[in-house]
Chain A
Amino acid sequence: MSHDTNDRSGGWIGPAIGIGAALGAAAFAYTNTQRKKRDWGDDAPGYTARRGFGEYSVVGRTVTIRKPKSELFAFWRDFTNLPDFMENLEKVAVKGGDRSVWTIKAPAGQSVDVETEIVSEKQEELIAWRSVEDSDIDTEGRVAFEDAPGERGTRVSLIVAYKPPAGDLGRAIAKLFLREPNVQARHDLKRFKMLMETGEIATSARTKDQTRKAKQQQKENA
């Protein structure tokens, strides 16, 4: 039995045919919460595989946060909180149902909207989303929350897959977005951890106009 079938039967990725389920499944296979053997039989998360995922760019990262699952899940599940720690995200508007519109920063002060829908959700454990059929950006992601050993809190694993879009705007976005997707994912998760553990995001700026945010705004206004 292939791991692909396995994963799809796991349910959450089922409707996400638009993104090419075979790829998605391979990449998403075996996160911390889904212990399934891969073809080559080791126990590492799928996204750490040395081989690529075709035309998709796949990013995965795990952090351990010293807070209970319930708290972390609740914060993330309110998508309007995501721009607090996801740097490329300008805002998220929840549309009702399981749909929301994510406004992503694009080069030259532009932005691009992506409509997403929740494709799977398990209270306190998992949230998975994907872009809807006619989106400019083909993406899906999932975040899983799992108790860490002892007093360590919660392991949070984020996996995101994108297919670089076609066209000029697409290429521009890809450049911004996919330049260093791994770095982006790592940084976003670290910011999430900071916000949850300390209530703020660390900065070494001496003055308010030297913070990263202020500098980015200055750049946009210029």
Chain B
Amino acid sequence: MRALTFHGTHDVRVDTVSDPEIINPRDAVIKVTSTAICGSDLHLYDGVIPGVMTGDVLGHEFMGEVVETGTDSTLKKGQRVVVPFTIACGGCFHCKVQQYSACDNSNPVEKQDLSATLYGHPMAGLFGYSHLTGGYSGGQAEYVRIPFSDVGPIVVPDHLDDDKVLFLSDILPTGWMAAENADIQPDDTVAVWGAGPVGLFAAQSALVMGAARVIVIDHYPHRLELARGLGADIINFRETDVREALMEMSGGIGVDAVIDAVGMESHGFAIDNMIDVVKQKVGIGADRASALKQALLAVRFGGKVSIPGVYGGMTDKFPIGALMEKGVSIGTGQTHVQKYLKTLLEKIEEGEIDTTFLISHHLPLEDAPTGYKNFKEKQNEWTKVVLRPGMETTT
């Protein structure tokens, strides 16, 4: 089959690789119809996540048609399914308490040691990410092997096309969980850093949950316009002093909840960020956390801090004092996708949530490297790329 594979920093290619097979009884194989590029893929593309190897098939936001099923799969050939990026067994302690992204059993045993050393406990399995999370072949491919196919994938009705449901695989539940982690109350003013897919869906979710006001911060005018289209207010951090603006816009109280939808590759020229950029480049592993630092200063005493943005290692000059003295509460983590699928599919069907506004480009799978390049370098216009295996190439 054809698949997007990793060859090194800023070097991804579409190669021919072996077709996936059913290996375990609960497996299924799906034929991919749509698959997206995520901000998390950019962390891999930029080489800041450890444990990615040459030849790895990337991609974790995908959907398609079931073409093969193992003896214990509950799926049927021909069904259309969206697949959560988090692989979960459904039977362990964490799955039972719906903390699916912490599943005990989805990361192969021999892959668990690295993350166990880094974080004290092993990570669960994720599609198309890092060998820290299993090294599973990902979804930017024609076919994917789906472990525990009786637990993860959600069958979607035929009348909803791919663009409407594809983001159930990751960024929609991620935005939703980010808002849930911010424990939105009706009179809350919420600030969201990052008008990327995750930030936009977090803003949308916070509004659906009834926040009084949502303020989205970024420096890309077009992305900010999308936020405004959802009903949020916007701040361009190149033009405006964010902290002062947030103080004023929250009536001098400070915002009630902050959401960091930027993660470890924060942009900006604040001095601490520049130092972190250099450290990340020379490989002494400091995560660039400037958006998070700003968020911690902006949140009010007793406020809520939600961190959907991904971090991998350590960070320097972290305002631990602000965190403690202000008595904030923190919610974070890889998304427990399986927990939110049903609710969110219902909201899509009822028209309460529409995710199609986000998609700026459809490309054939063969053009995936172009998609990566532009999603990284032309972020303003390239807001979300959906790849379609089999789609006509234009070039």
Contact = CB atoms under 8 A, between A and B. Distances in A.
Interface of A: 64, 66, 151-153, 183, 187, 190-191, 193-194, 197-208, 210-212
**A153, A191, A200, A206 pick with most chain B CB within 10 angstroms:** A206
A207 B20 contact: yes
A78 B106 CA distance: 26
A208 B27 CA distance: 12
A158 to B, nearest CB: 14
Nearest to A205: B23
A199 B18 contact: no
A201 B21 contact: no
Nearest to B25: A200
Given A66-B96, A198-B26, A208-B23, A203 B89 contact: no
A199 B137 contact: no
B18 A200 contact: no
Contacts of A152: 93
Interface of B: 17-21, 23-26, 57, 72, 89-93, 96, 104-113, 125, 134-137, 145, 147-148
19 contacts: A152-B93, A153-B93, A187-B109, A187-B110, A191-B109, A194-B109, A198-B26, A199-B26, A200-B25, A201-B24, A202-B105, A202-B107, A202-B108, A204-B137, A206-B145, A207-B19, A207-B20, A207-B23, A211-B23
Nearest to A180: B113
Given A66-B91, A152-B93, A193-B104, A204 B111 contact: yes
A205 B105 CA distance: 15
Contacts of B147: 202-203
B111 A198 contact: no
A153 B93 CA distance: 9
Given A193-B105, A208-B21, 13 more contacts: A66-B91, A66-B92, A66-B93, A153-B93, A198-B105, A199-B25, A202-B89, A203-B23, A204-B136, A206-B17, A208-B23, A210-B18, A212-B108
Nearest to A197: B91
A66 to B, nearest CB: 6
Given A193-B104, A206-B145, A207-B18, A183 B23 contact: no
A197 B108 contact: no
A137 B14 CA distance: 52
A193 B104 CA distance: 9
A91 to B, nearest CB: 20
Nearest to A200: B24
B137 A203 contact: no
Contacts of B21: 206-208
Given A198-B91, A212-B110, A206 B137 contact: yes
A190 B105 CA distance: 8
A6 to B, nearest CB: 33
B17 to A, nearest CB: 8
Nearest to B96: A66
A196 to B, nearest CB: 9
Given A183-B113, A193-B104, A197-B104, A202 B125 contact: yes
A190 B112 CA distance: 10
A72 to B, nearest CB: 14
A194 B106 CA distance: 9
A201 B148 CA distance: 11
A204 B20 CA distance: 11
Nearest to B104: A193
A153 B111 CA distance: 25
B211 to A, nearest CB: 35
Nearest to A65: B92
Given A187-B110, A197-B89, A198-B148, A206 B96 contact: no
A166 B112 CA distance: 33
Given A66-B92, A66-B93, A183-B113, A202 B20 contact: no
Contacts of A66: 91-93, 96
A211 B109 CA distance: 12
A66 B105 CA distance: 12
Given A64-B93, A66-B91, A206-B18, A197 B23 contact: no
Contacts of B112: 190
A202 B106 contact: yes
B23 A194 contact: no
B352 to A, nearest CB: 34
B20 A206 contact: yes
Given A183-B113, A198-B148, A208-B23, A203 B93 contact: no
Contacts of A208: 21, 23
Contacts of B89: 194, 197-198, 202
A204 B135 contact: yes
A95 B342 CA distance: 53
A201 B109 contact: yes
A200 B20 CA distance: 18
A170 to B, nearest CB: 26
A199 B90 CA distance: 11
B105 A197 contact: yes
B145 to A, nearest CB: 6
B108 A204 contact: yes
A208 B21 CA distance: 7
Contact of A197 (B57, B92, B107, B135): B92
A64 B92 CA distance: 9
